[in-house]
Amino acid sequence: MTLKEEWDRLDSKTRQWLLNNPGCVMVPRTVAATIKRHSAGHIEVDVHGQMILSREDLDFIRDKGAGGETELVSEEFRFFDAAQPGERT
């Protein structure tokens, strides 16, 4: 399964999240679950429910983003892999 094959099946919020995060190699489980729910193919996720994007997927997302495609911006999916400014770890 590639994102290119599944792109039209994804909801606009998920597509926008992917376009807003073109360098994200590991898709968080909340986004991966949505992709899995909308896709027709088999989506592989790791033991944590995260999806690792292939080079082909990353190139596709960057190409889509460079094409000037605009969609609704969503704050539904927020993913932080480090402490936020001002937080102590």
Domain boundaries of the chain, sorted by first residue = 3-66
Write down the pLDDT at residue 74. Answer: 44
Look at residue 81 and tell me whether its pLDDT is greater than 70.
no
Write down the pLDDT at residue 67. Answer: 79
Write down the pLDDT at residue 9. Answer: 92
Write down the pLDDT at residue 52. Answer: 92
Q: What pLDDT, in 10s, does the model give residues 1-49?
A: 788 889 999 999 999 999 999 989 999 999 999 998 888 878 888 999 9
Residues 6+ apart with CB under 8 A from 10: 18, 34, 35, 38, 39
Look at residue 73 and tell me whether its pLDDT is greater than 50.
no
pLDDT band of 89, cuts 50, 70, 90: low
Record the pTM: 0.69
DSSP string, 31-77: HHHHHHHH-SS-----TTS-EEPPHHHHHHHHHHHHTT-------S-
